[in-house]
Amino acid sequence: MSEVLGPQTALYIILDQAEELFTQLGAEGRAEFVTELADCVSDESLPVRWLLSMRTEFFGNLANFRPQIQDPFANDYRLNRLNRAEAGEVITEPAKRRSIAFEDGLVEQLLDDLSAGADELPPPQIQLVCSGLYDNLPDGKTSITRAQYDAAGGATGILREHLARVLGRDLKPAQRPIAQRLFEALITAEGRRAVRRQSELIADFKASQLKDLPPETVQAVLNQLVDSRLLRAQEQEADPTQAEPAYELASGLSPEMTAALTYELAHDYLLDQIKLDPEAQARKAAQELLEQETRTYERYKTLLSPERLAVIAPHRAALRLTPLAEELLAKSEAEVQREQREEEARRQKELEDAQKLAESALARARAERRGRLVTIGMLVVAIVLVVVLSYNPIRNAILRQQAMGPALISISESEVILGDSRYVNDDPSYLPRQKYRVEAFEIEPYEVTNDRYLLCVKSGNCSLPIAPSSSYSGDANTKLPVVNITAVQASQFCEWLGRRLPSDLQWERAARFTDERIWPWGNLTPSVEQANFYYEEDPILQPIGRYESGKSPEGIYDLAGNVWEWTRSAYFPGQPDLDLNSTTQPDVVSARGGGYDASYDSMKNTIAFRIAGTPFAPNGGIGFRCISK
C-alpha cells in the first residue's frame, strides 16, 4: 500500500456496519479482533486510520474495547436527522459531483414527500429515494425530472419498491414470516406506527406460533430490517423509577442483545403494506387494552370491568403477560364472578320477597270484609304509584332533578389573559399566553360525585364506571368525585342534565379568575389546607368541597387537586372538540386541574398546565364537572 499511496499517505480503513462485531461475533472472536485492532492503533509506525460506522444504539458497546483501547469514544461523529436545508444539500451536492441536476421544484417536492410535515428528515430515507432515482436515470441523461419521479411512484413508490426488494430477495424464505410478524407488532390496532421495546418484540414471538424460534434468530431479522432502513432502532432512555416488565428477564437474549432498544417502522408508507387479518387486529386490540389497564391497575389498583375482560379473555393465550397483568386478570375474573354471584343472590332474594308479599296479600284478602276493603284501597294507591314511577319520562325527570346538584356559579363575560408563556414550539401542555374573550357561562361548584352519576345510570342514560362496584357504590363513596369514566361518559351525563363539559378556555377562566392568578386562591404555593395534592403522606381521594380556603373568588371548589377534570377541548391544535353528535372526534382531549396522586410541581407550578387523555378510555384519576349550555 505504501508503494501505491506513497510513504507519507495514511491509509483509511472503513468498517461499515460495525455493530455486527456485537451481533454476529461471539465473545472470543470479538476479543481477538479488539486485541489485533489495538496493536494496529498503538503502532505509530503504521500510517493507518480506522473508521467504524455503526448504528447509534450500539455505540455504547465500544466500552468493551477497553482496556486494550483506552478511549474508544475520543473521536465520534453522529449522523442525526437533518433539517430541511441540510436535507436539501444532501440531495443536491452529491448530484452536482456527478454532473446531475434536478428539475426545478423537484427537490422541494421530494422534501415535502419525505418529511410528511415534520421539521427533520431521516437520512436513510433520503439515501434510498435518491439511489432509486439514480438507478432509474436513463443512460446519457443528466437531469432527474418530475416525470421520472412520478413514474417511479414518488418517494413512497421508491420506498415500496425497496420494501419489496428486501422481502423478496434479501431475506431468506424462512426469515420472511418473522419479518411479517415484526411488522405487525409495530403497528397499533388502529393502523398507526407503534414504538416497541426489544424485549416486547421477542416476547411477542413466545406467545405466537413461532414460539420455538431462538431469540437470536428474531434479533438477526430485526438487525437486517434496520440495516435495510425499514425499521428504526434507538436507545431507550432508562427511567430509574420504572421497573422493566418481567418478560424482559425471560426473553432469552444474550448480554449483547439486552441493550435498552426500541424499534418502530421507518416510514408511514409501510403502514399501507402491512395487512392485519381480523384475528390479528382483535389480538392487538386486546394486547393494547391489557397494557393500558395494567398501567392503570399499577397506579390505582383498578380492576377490569366485565366488558373489558370480555375483550381480553378470548386472546389470553396469545398475549404477552407480565406478572402484574396476570395478577390483574386473576383478580378481575374473581371480582366478576363474585359480582355475578351477588347479582344472582339479589335476584333470588327479590323472587323470595315477591313470593312473601304475594302470600301476605292473600292472607289479608281472606280477612274480614272491612279489613279487606282497606287493603284493597291501599293496594290501589300502591298500584297507581308503581304505574306512575314506571312511566319512563316521569321517572327520568325525577332522577334528573335529583342529580342536578347545587346551584350553578355564574361566570360573567370577560376579556382575560390565559395560557402560559412556556407555550413554545406549539407545546400543548399550555394554551398560548394571550388575551381571550370568554362568553358568560355557568359552572357547577363541585366535581360530579358518585351518587349524582349513579342516578344517571339508574335512568338508563349513562353506563357504569369501568371499575368494580366497590369503588363507587356504598355510603363511603357517595360524595367522592366519580372517576374511572371516559370523557364520552362524562359528556353523556352533562347532556342528560341539559349541560355540557367545559372547554379549555372556560375551565381556565373559572380557575384563574380575571387577574391571571397562578392558582384558584391566588399565587401562594399550594398547601394541605388549600388543595388535595400529593405532599408526603399516602395520597387519598377526598370528598368534594373540603378545601374552603382553596376555592376560587367566585366560590368554585376543588379546581386544583383531588381529581383531574375532563374538558371537551381537543388537546392538539387543529382537531375537532369532543361532540357526541359528530362523526369525527379528537384523538385526545384536555384534562385540567391536577389530582390527589400527583404533586403540584408536576404541573409546572401552575393551574394553566394541561394533560391529554383518550376520550374513549377511562382513567382512575380523572373526573369532571358540567357547565350550562
Domain boundary among 142, 161, 180: 161
Cell of 236: 431507550
Sign of the alpha-carbon dihedral angle for 173, 175, 176, 181: positive
Share of the chain above pLDDT 90, in %: 30
pLDDT value for 589: 93
User: Which of 212, 203, 195 is closest to 321 using CA atoms?
Assistant: 203
Indicate whether 552 and 623 sit together in one domain: yes
One-letter amino acid at 480 equals L
What phi and psi, each to the nearest 5 degrees, are found at residue 443?
-135, 145
Cell of 310: 370480555
Q: How far apart are CA 433 and CA 264, in angstroms?
A: 35
Query: What CATH number is given to the structural domain containing 95?
Result: 1.10.8
CA-based diameter of the chain, in Å? 132
Whether 549 and 530 have beta carbons less than 8 Å apart is answered as yes
Q: How far apart are CA 419 and CA 433, in angstroms?
A: 4
The string of pLDDT tens digits covering residues 336-350 is 888 878 877 776 776
Three-class SS of residue 591? strand
When mean pLDDT is compared over 90-104, 248-262, 266-280, the highest value belongs to: 90-104
Domain boundary among 333, 363, 390: 390
Mean pLDDT of 67-86: 82
Cell of 196: 416497541
Whether 467 and 618 have beta carbons less than 8 Å apart is answered as yes
When mean pLDDT is compared over 96-100, 101-105, 225-229, 536-540, the highest value belongs to: 101-105
pLDDT band at 351 (very low <50, low <70, confident <90, very high): low
Whether 111 and 87 have beta carbons less than 8 Å apart is answered as yes
pLDDT band at 361 (very low <50, low <70, confident <90, very high): low
Partners of 262 in the β-ladder: 197, 234
The string of pLDDT tens digits covering residues 483-521 is 999 999 999 999 999 999 999 999 999 999 999 999 999
Q: How far apart are CA 291 and CA 454, in angstroms?
A: 28
Indicate whether 257 and 109 sit together in one domain: no
Query: What CATH number is given to the structural domain containing 421?
Result: 3.90.1580.10
Whether 307 and 218 have beta carbons less than 8 Å apart is answered as no
pLDDT value for 503: 96
pLDDT band at 71 (very low <50, low <70, confident <90, very high): confident
Indicate whether 152 and 187 sit together in one domain: no
Question: What domain range is 316 assigned to?
Answer: 303-390
Instruction: Report yes or no on 73 lying in a domain.
Output: no
pLDDT value for 242: 45
Higher pLDDT, 237 or 522: 522
Residue 468 has pLDDT above 70, yes or no: yes
Indicate whether 155 and 182 sit together in one domain: no
pLDDT value for 582: 80
Three-class SS of residue 331? helix
Instruction: Report yes or no on 24 lying in a domain.
Output: yes
Higher pLDDT, 327 or 339: 327
Whether 204 and 165 have beta carbons less than 8 Å apart is answered as no
Q: How far apart are CA 472 and CA 587, in angstroms?
A: 28
Partners of 619 in the β-ladder: 485
Higher pLDDT, 328 or 237: 328
**Residue 234 host element (H or E):** strand 231-235
Residue 363 has pLDDT above 50, yes or no: yes
User: Which of 276, 286, 361 is closest to 320 using CA atoms?
Assistant: 286
> How many residues can be counted in the chain?
629
Lowest model confidence (mean pLDDT) among 229-243, 405-419, 438-452: 229-243
Instruction: Report yes or no on 400 lying in a domain.
Output: no
Whether 181 and 221 have beta carbons less than 8 Å apart is answered as no
Whether 209 and 299 have beta carbons less than 8 Å apart is answered as no
Indicate whether 443 and 574 sit together in one domain: yes
pLDDT value for 395: 77
Cell of 355: 313470593
Lowest model confidence (mean pLDDT) among 22-36, 128-142, 285-299: 22-36
Q: Can you tell me which residue has the cell 415500496?
A: 160
Indicate whether 541 and 607 sit together in one domain: yes
- pTM for this prediction: 0.46
Sign of the alpha-carbon dihedral angle for 594, 600, 603, 607: positive
Residue 386 has pLDDT above 70, yes or no: no
Higher pLDDT, 133 or 538: 133
Instruction: Report yes or no on 496 lying in a domain.
Output: yes
Higher pLDDT, 19 or 399: 399
Query: What CATH number is given to the structural domain containing 252?
Result: 1.10.10
Q: How far apart are CA 563 and CA 137, in angstroms?
A: 62
Domain boundary among 326, 360, 390: 390
Whether 625 and 448 have beta carbons less than 8 Å apart is answered as yes
Indicate whether 532 and 436 sit together in one domain: yes
Is the N-terminal amide bond of 553 cis, ω within 30° of 0? no
Q: In 10 A of CB 68, how many CB atoms?
A: 16
Instruction: Report yes or no on 403 lying in a domain.
Output: no
Query: Burial code of 185-214, b = ≥16 C-beta within 10 A, e = fewer?
Result: bbbebeeeebebbbbbbbbbbbbbeeeebe
Instruction: Report yes or no on 396 lying in a domain.
Output: no
Indicate whether 297 and 320 sit together in one domain: no
One-letter amino acid at 166 equals V
Instruction: Report yes or no on 268 lying in a domain.
Output: yes
Q: Are strands 414-418 and 434-438 parallel, antiparallel or unpaired?
A: antiparallel
- The total of structural domains in the chain comes to 5
Q: Angle at CA 368, nearest 5°, toward 362 and 372?
A: 55
pLDDT value for 23: 67
Indicate whether 224 and 121 sit together in one domain: no
Q: At what angle do helices 154-165 and 123-135 cross, to 10 degrees?
A: 90
Q: At what angle do helices 278-300 and 323-365 cross, to 10 degrees?
A: 80
Partners of 83 in the β-ladder: 120
- Please state, in angstroms and as integers, the Cα–Cα distance from residue 358 to each residue in 363, 373, 376, 398, following that order: 9, 17, 14, 29
DSSP codes joined into one string, 372-421: HHHHHHHHHHHHHHHHHHHSHHHHHHHHHHHHS-SPPEEE--EEEEESBT
Q: Are strands 101-102 and 143-144 parallel, antiparallel or unpaired?
A: parallel
Indicate whether 465 and 516 sit together in one domain: yes
Instruction: Report yes or no on 72 lying in a domain.
Output: no
Higher pLDDT, 353 or 547: 547
Lowest model confidence (mean pLDDT) among 78-82, 126-130, 417-421, 458-462: 78-82
User: In whole numbers, what is the pLDDT of the chain averaged over residues?
Assistant: 83
Indicate whether 298 and 350 sit together in one domain: no
Indicate whether 271 and 364 sit together in one domain: no
